[in-house]
Chain A
Amino acid sequence: MLETLKLTKRFNGHVAVNDLNLLIKPGEVFALLGPNGAGKTTTINLLLGFLTPDAGEARVNGASVATDPIAARRQIAYIPEQVMLYPRFTGVENLDYFSTLGGRRHTREELLALLKRAGLPAEAADRRVGTYSKGMRQKVGIALALATEAKALLLDEPTSGLDPAASHEFSLLLRKLAGQGVAVLMATHDLFRAREDATRIGILLDGKLAGDYATNDIKHVDLEKLYLKHLRA
């Protein structure tokens, strides 16, 4: 579903993503770990077609992102580290607008239900987003990912700013979506959540995939030790 083939991206000679090969199938949750500046966000940007690769290719559902970025994005829901919304619109209005842009029209009841599923308190839904906390905005982003019924999710530290309970709710949602056949790529620094939610864990170092494990195979391994071992290698 989400695929990169020898994907390479340089910034002023500095290689941010280096000859990266990834394949995330429907139903898989791939957690991408890696230190700051490893190239996680850059990889997501390449999959969204927000950056043009210097070599290689990104594909969504078999189609090249470079040739038809619009078609690729239509199959993707994206939650950035900081969900940005229109401050003069309420949570429902924002969700309505964005899901319409994503090609899905919902009734007000449906929108409220989506926000509720994402964990936004009902009283907040009709408040202007300008008054929201970071975590609340993040929840609208999650509701949007649900609203567009995308086949693939690109998540860039999606739970940043979420309280533990909300994080937990999000994990449940994620697993449910994966169960429905959604392919998920999640960049994260949260080793605990990675272990809980992911079916596979990749460790990105300097734009290269240094490790790629099925979560089931490393059940009894200390993930933190494994991660640090890669970092020192």
Chain B
Amino acid sequence: MIAAIARKEFLDAWRDGRFRIAAVVVLALLGVALLMAWQQVERTRSERAAAAVMERENWLNQGVKNSHSAGHFGVYVFKPLAPLAVFDRGIEPFVGTTVFLEAHRQNQAAFLPAQDATAMRRFGELTAAAGLQLLAPLVILLLTFGALAGERERGTLRQVLSLGVRPRDLVLGKALGLGAALATLLLPVALLGAAALATLPDAEGGGSWVRFAWMGGAYVLYLAAILAVCLAVSAMASTARAALAVLLVSWAANAVLAPRLAADLVQHILPTPKLVEFEAAMNQAVQEGLDGHNPRNQRLQTFAQETLKKHGKTRIEELPFNFNGLVMLESERMAGEVFDHHYGKLWDRLEAQDLTVTWAGLVAPLLGLRSASMALAGTDFTHHRHFSVAAEEHRRDFVRVLNEDMMNNTSGGHHGGVADPSLWEKLPAFRYEPPPSAHALRAATPGLVVLLLWAVVAWIALLVVAPRLKPN
């Protein structure tokens, strides 16, 4: 019985010219979005890889200079783009892609792709994710708003129910049939996506396919929840028009209003400092100490005395190494504590913001989906943070090696003598290992929980509403 109803709904949808047009439009849009994104990801990845190679060349060939100058010469490191950015660019267009690593400072990633994007390229940011998040629900809406209310209006519902069909079977059959119609529309998109993914080499342990599978699951939950909600509204609405009105308003609330409102609200509840304020506070803490009562000069003076005591000397010149190098090491260590504290606080705050927005998905499921999708794609903030931390670790290693060289291999002079160019080789190139799929899954869990709740509650609601289906 349910199968017969599902089969009829499926056929009816495909015989409906409006659905076929919607299908062609959605397929074309998603297909083009995927192709463009694939091309862009490919290009970006090779550009960044090439830039990294060139940067390394520059570093190795910087010639003869002292190690401290090399620290200021600095190196650029480039953030590799996750293969699944093909589906979901996440925050990538809004965060930096490059970090300048230099002595004394922890820099934020710079060069936001969105900053220099032309209008055309921004349009190109219509990703498969956006299509599935915003367009697919519209297709479901058009497919379902009249599914029950329209049959009631036309009188076919009386005919069906007079045959002794259980309303619940009817509703389930419709849900399955319409779901299948939607699946035939989206399956080619998934296959195209898989093909694109297969051509993009994955970092070892990145787990692209695991991530891809979970992403698929997240979208299925989301669309299944929307399908159930739409059918429940259609079951209860007195007319198809009324169902359409309610559903369109809900769509706009979920797709347009909720993301903006959530972003504003969360900035209000959990504000982040302005960039200038943040940097000023950090610089001050570097100078004055984290507690603000421990000036850097004093700390370094104490450090000098302790060092002399430890080595049983009375004058810095008597130390068996270049004391300036040791001071550099110590001040880097002290600054590092400040950076860890300030950046840690900022990043924790940003993650708390994201989490709050994700839980707001209990009201508007798109927020839950966006969070899960980005996390699984490897384009959310937790992945960006992972990269930023790795870049900073590399910076500290690099500065440490330079300072140790100054300390041990040079003598006297404020910034030490000239370093042996073989030193440049000793500094390993930056190799970033993106986090494994387990990290992504952990980051995606709240969003997935939100989606699961939505799907379960929506289907229960549909099953509760179904027996109350009125024939007239």
The chain A residues found within 8 Å of chain B, CB to CB, are 45, 48, 50, 70-74, 76-78, 80, 82-86, 88-89, 97-98, 100-103, 141, 148, 154
Total B residues in contact with A, Cβ cutoff 8 Å: 22
A73 and B156 in contact (CB under 8 A), knowing A50-B472, A100-B4, A101-B4?
no
CB pair A73 B162 closer than 8 Å: yes
CB pair B162 A84 closer than 8 Å: no
Interface residue from A48, A83, A97 paired with B8 (Cβ < 8 Å):
A97
Q: What separation, in Å, do the CA atoms of A82 and B159 have in the docked complex?
A: 10
CB pair B159 A102 closer than 8 Å: no
Interface residue from A72, A84, A89 paired with B159 (Cβ < 8 Å):
A84
Interchain residue pairs A-B with the least CB separation, the first 8: A73-B164, A84-B155, A74-B164, A78-B162, A102-B163, A88-B15, A101-B163, A84-B156
List chain A residues, Cβ under 8 A from B164.
Answer: 70-74, 76, 101-103
Number of A-B pairs, beta carbon distance below 8 Å: 68
CB pair A73 B163 closer than 8 Å: yes
Interface residue from A71, A80, A98 paired with B155 (Cβ < 8 Å):
A80
Q: CB of B16 within 8 A of chain A?
A: yes
Interface string of B6-21 (1 = CB under 8 A from A): 0010011001100000
A-B contact pairs, 8 of them (CB 8 A): A83-B159, A86-B12, A88-B12, A98-B160, A100-B1, A101-B1, A101-B5, A101-B160
List chain B residues, Cβ under 8 A from A86.
Answer: 8, 12, 156
Q: CB of B161 within 8 A of chain A?
A: yes
CB pair B12 A48 closer than 8 Å: no
Q: What separation, in Å, do the CA atoms of A195 and B119 have in the docked complex?
A: 78
Q: CB of B385 within 8 A of chain A?
A: no
- Residue in A closest to B155 when the chains form the complex, CB atoms: A84
CB distance from A168 to the nearest CB of B (A): 25
Q: CB of B154 within 8 A of chain A?
A: yes
Interface residue from B154, B160, B166 paired with A70 (Cβ < 8 Å):
B166
Q: CB of B158 within 8 A of chain A?
A: yes
List chain A residues, Cβ under 8 A from B163.
Answer: 73-74, 98, 101-103, 148
Q: What separation, in Å, do the CA atoms of A193 and B16 have in the docked complex?
A: 40
CB pair B162 A97 closer than 8 Å: no
List chain B residues, Cβ under 8 A from A154.
Answer: 162
List chain B residues, Cβ under 8 A from A73.
Answer: 161-164
List chain B residues, Cβ under 8 A from A50.
Answer: 158, 161-162, 471-472
Q: CB of B165 within 8 A of chain A?
A: yes
List chain A residues, Cβ under 8 A from B1.
Answer: 100-101
CB pair B162 A76 closer than 8 Å: yes
Q: What separation, in Å, do the CA atoms of A83 and B162 have in the docked complex?
A: 12
Q: What separation, in Å, do the CA atoms of A84 and B159 have in the docked complex?
A: 7
List chain A residues, Cβ under 8 A from B154.
Answer: 84
Q: What separation, in Å, do the CA atoms of A37 and B373 have in the docked complex?
A: 59
CB distance from B468 to the nearest CB of A (A): 12
List chain B residues, Cβ under 8 A from A78.
Answer: 158-159, 162
Q: What separation, in Å, do the CA atoms of A148 and B163 have in the docked complex?
A: 8
CB pair B12 A89 closer than 8 Å: yes
CB distance from A225 to the nearest CB of B (A): 35
List chain B residues, Cβ under 8 A from A45.
Answer: 472
Q: What separation, in Å, do the CA atoms of A84 and B472 have in the docked complex?
A: 13
List chain B residues, Cβ under 8 A from A74.
Answer: 163-164
List chain A residues, Cβ under 8 A from B12.
Answer: 86, 88-89
Q: What separation, in Å, do the CA atoms of A184 and B248 have in the docked complex?
A: 46
Q: What separation, in Å, do the CA atoms of A65 and B261 have in the docked complex?
A: 51
CB pair A101 B16 closer than 8 Å: no
Q: What separation, in Å, do the CA atoms of A100 and B158 have in the docked complex?
A: 16
Q: What separation, in Å, do the CA atoms of A70 and B159 have in the docked complex?
A: 13
